Structure 1
Amino acid sequence: MAEATDDRLRLLIERIERLEEEKKGIADDIRDVYAEGKAVGYDTKLMRQIYRLRKMKPEERAEMETLLDTYKAALGMA
């Protein structure tokens, strides 16, 4: 039984290792896309901000924008 458990553990660890390697490859690809955007003149900080906004639910985004406007007004930034 221990050998079967050991094999199962080894397979799980190997699978995690493969997935981590894929994750690293995807992260590299994302970095390349941002670099491409920068190369054609886009601001990568703004690209990242837009990405974060787009993945939010519309009601969450509206709430965050309302709070941001409130904070800005309180600081005289409006």
Structure 2
Amino acid sequence: MSDNATAADDRLRLLIERIERLEEEKKGIADDIRDVYMEAKAVGYDPKIMRQIVRLRKMKPDDRSEQDMLLETYKAALGMA
């Protein structure tokens, strides 16, 4: 094998190993988040609603307003308002 091929192989191996480490960290973080939701549920909070709040807080205010407006429009069209 040439030096270029060996260097490319090493680079690929390092990138794959880095991805694998990050995937493990991601799994650990996901487990921690699940534990927090379970803790919240144990003290009486609704995890489903908490997830919605987290999702809404991630949104830009304009996007959130637009979504709220569309939701109200759809609810009105269905006689739910």
Give the TM-score normalised by structure 1: 0.96
Match status 1:4 vs 2:7: yes
Q: Specify the alignment match of 1:64 in structure 2.
A: 67
Distance 2:77 2:10 in 1: 61
Q: CA deviation at 1:6?
A: 1.0
Equivalence map 1:1-78=2 (5 Å)? 1-78=4-81
Point out where structure 2 has 5 or more consecutive residues left out of the alignment.
Answer: none
Greater relative CO (CA pairs within 8 A, separation 6+): 1
Give the TM-score normalised by structure 2: 0.93
The aligned length equals 78
Give percent identity, aligned residues only: 81
Point out where structure 1 has 5 or more consecutive residues left out of the alignment.
Answer: none
Greater gyration radius: 2
CA RMSD in angstroms comes to 0.6
Q: CA deviation at 1:48?
A: 0.5
Consecutive aligned runs of 4 or more in structure 1 exceeding 6 Å deviation:
none
Distance 1:67 1:47 in 2: 21
